[in-house]
């Protein structure tokens, strides 16, 4: 089997993290769509495992958590009508407000099971008592209590929406209703009201939508398979944490958080992928047994 050169792999991955779709990446880099998907799968597994091992033992003071919607195969309303597809997919994100590091992320549903799994993962990665802010989703209440007990200063920022005058319900338009205000609800401990905010994690959601073509609305670049969706998100957050210099910080979130000594490049990621392939010694490909 012909193997892509390091330069070509770097080119493909760079195109993916800069907001290109699978098909456009294949055209730009002069490779097949299947080649792009195979490389995405390999590097996605590597990025997921690297994040799980490396992003731990953190001393964070303020964490903001949120969820962002996407879909796989078809929107939920079309799946329910009998069409093929996975339906709605939600990505849960926890971000350190000081270093802008994405501490934890989870791809799943917007339900109690995923809320609990997500919050338990956040708790395992942070070593000190910290202040947590989420939106007003009620699923967080039990999830935070199960993960942290009383060892957290927790508040919710509950936004109050009203009609925007169009007469359309939120399900039939692409932006939420007009925000008439926000209420800070203290749930546990003694959170500082001045720091009860989800602004940074919501801004990170915009970065995700701009950097991952799968999240762009009104296109046909949406994910067709859940596994590929998960791999693309793992690659995005590796690049966001370790490679992408944050303009305000002047460095990457990983360097600011003290879990990396330098700014990584996509070429560094490719080199790490090649080292992993040599260790596995399975013909130059990472085992994708967990793709389904």
The predicted structure's pLDDT at residue 292: 28
Q: Calculate the average pLDDT of the chain.
A: 90
**What is the residue extent of each domain of the chain?**
6-280
Structure tokens, 231:
């791999």
Place of tokens 């600011």: 256
Distance separating alpha carbons of residues 110 and 187, to the nearest angstrom: 21
What is the DSSP-derived secondary structure letter of residue 243?
Answer: I
Neighbours of 94 (CB within 10 A): 25
The predicted structure's pLDDT at residue 175: 62
Burial, 187: exposed, middle or buried (Cβ in 10 Å; 0-12, 13-18, 19+)? middle
Mean pLDDT of 256-274: 97
Mean pLDDT of 278-290: 59
- Tell me which fold the domain 6-280 belongs to: Nucleotidyltransferase; domain 5 (3.30.420)
Which one has a higher pLDDT value, 278 or 129? Answer: 129
- The structure's pTM equals 0.89
Is residue 17 within 8 Å of residue 235, measured between CB atoms? yes
């Amino acid at each position: 089997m012909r193997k892509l050169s390091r330069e070509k792999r770097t080119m493909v991955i760079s195109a993916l993290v800069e907001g290109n779709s699978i098909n456009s990446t294949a055209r730009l880099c002069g490779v097949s769509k299947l080649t792009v998907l195979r490389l995405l799968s390999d590097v996605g597994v590597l990025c997921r495992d690297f994040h799980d091992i490396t992003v731990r033992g953190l001393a964070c003071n303020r964490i903001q958590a949120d969820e962002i919607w996407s879909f796989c195969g078809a929107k939920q309303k079309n799946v329910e009508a009998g069409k093929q597809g996975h339906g709605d997919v939600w990505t849960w994100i926890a971000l350190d407000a000081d270093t802008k590091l994405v501490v934890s992320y989870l791809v799943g549903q917007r339900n109690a099971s995923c809320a609990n799994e997500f919050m338990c993962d956040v708790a395992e990665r942070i070593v000190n008592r910290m202040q947590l802010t989420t939106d007003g989703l009620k699923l967080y209440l039990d999830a935070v209590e199960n993960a942290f007990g009383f060892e957290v200063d927790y508040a919710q920022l509950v936004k109050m929406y009203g009609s925007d005058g169009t007469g359309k319900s939120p399900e039939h338009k692409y932006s939420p209703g007009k925000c008439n205000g926000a209420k800070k609800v203290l749930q546990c401990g003694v959170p500082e009201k001045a720091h009860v905010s989800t602004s940074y994690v919501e801004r990170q959601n915009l970065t995700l939508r701009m950097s991952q073509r799968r999240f762009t609305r009104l296109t046909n670049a949406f994910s067709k398979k859940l596994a590929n969706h998960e791999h693309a998100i793992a690659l995005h957050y590796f690049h966001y944490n370790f490679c992408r210099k944050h303009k305000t910080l002047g460095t990457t979130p990983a360097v600011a958080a003290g879990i990396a000594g330098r700014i990584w490049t996509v070429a560094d990621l490719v080199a790490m992928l090649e080292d992993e392939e040599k260790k596995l010694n399975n013909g130059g490909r990472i085992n994708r047994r967990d793709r389904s």
